């Protein structure tokens, strides 16, 4: 159920982001989804890729600070009100969302949202009960 997201610490210096993405593409890793959270001094680049384990190795070899985080991916076109309905569902279950970001698949005309919550099991349970489509890890990696 859970998807391995790669988080990379990047200092706010010119060229840092592009160096990371180039390193991944040079090693045959495709990026499925991406988001950046940044402050004045640093940013955190969050990636969903086709092969998280390999991506992690490659990045560590290049002295990047990397961590793997379990996140949830849901489809949001299946239900009316999509995203806000999902938020309501988590809110009612008392689960706070640390952050989230959306992405679109190439093949289908479908939007997905990556959710990072404080309690994955509880969140999955709540979302399932309310009939949200939760993507399997392989589905996302092979998208």
Partner 1 sequence: MANYWNKEIECMSREDMKKLQDERLVAQVKHVYENVPYYKNLMDEKGVTPDDIKSTDDLHKLPFLTKADLREAYPYGLLAKPLSECVRIQSTSGTTGKRVVAFYTQHDVDLWEDCCARAITAVGGTNEDVCQVAYGYGLFTGGPGLNGGSHKVGCLTLPMSSGNTERQIQFMTDLGATILCCTPSYAAYIGETLKEMGISPDDLKLKAGIFGAEPWTEEMRREIEKSLGIKAYDIYGLTETSGPGVAFECEAQTGMHINEDHFFAEIIDPDTGEVLPEGSKGELVFTSLTKEAFPLLRYRTRDICVLTREKCSCGRTLVKMCKPMGRSDDMLIIRGVNVFPSQIETVLIEQGYAPNYLIEVDRRNNTDTLDINVELTEEQFSDTVKGIQEKEYELAQAIKTILGINPKVHLVSPKSIARSEGKAVRVVDKRKLHD
Q: How far apart are CA 30 and CA 27, in angstroms?
A: 9
- Letters for 27-66 (x = contact with partner 1 by CB under 8 A, - = none) are ----------xxx-xx-x-x----------------xxxx
The distance of closest approach from Cβ of residue 26 to partner 1 in the complex, given in angstroms and rounded to an integer, is 20
Binders of partner 1: how many residues, by CB under 8 A?
21
Q: How far apart are CA 101 and CA 110, in angstroms?
A: 14
β strands within 79-132, DSSP E: 97-104, 111-117
Between 7 and 130, name the residue whose CB sits nearer to partner 1. 7
Whether the CB-CB separation of 9 and 42 falls below 8 Å is answered with: yes
H or E element: which one contains 123? helix 120-129
The only residue of 51, 69, 130, 133 in contact with partner 1, by rule CB under 8 A: 69
10 counts as binding partner 1 under rule CB under 8 A: yes
Site residues (vs partner 1, CB under 8 A): 5, 7, 9-11, 37-39, 41-42, 44, 46, 63-67, 69, 98-99, 116
């Amino acid at each position: 159920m859970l998807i391995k997201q790669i988080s990379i610490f990047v200092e706010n210096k010119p060229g840092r982001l592009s160096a990371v993405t180039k390193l991944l593409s040079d090693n045959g890793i495709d990026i499925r989804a991406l988001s950046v959270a940044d402050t004045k001094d640093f940013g955190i680049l969050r990636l969903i890729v086709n092969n998280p384990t390999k991506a992690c190795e490659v990045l560590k070899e290049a002295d990047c600070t990397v961590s793997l985080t379990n996140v949830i991916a849901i489809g949001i076109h299946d239900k009316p009100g999509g995203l806000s309905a999902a938020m309501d569902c988590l809110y009612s279950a008392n689960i706070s969302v640390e952050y989230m970001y959306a992405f679109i698949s190439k093949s289908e005309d479908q939007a997905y949202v990556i959710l990072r919550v404080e309690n994955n099991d509880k969140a999955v349970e709540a979302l399932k009960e309310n009939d949200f489509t939760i993507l399997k890890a392989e589905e996302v990696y092979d998208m």
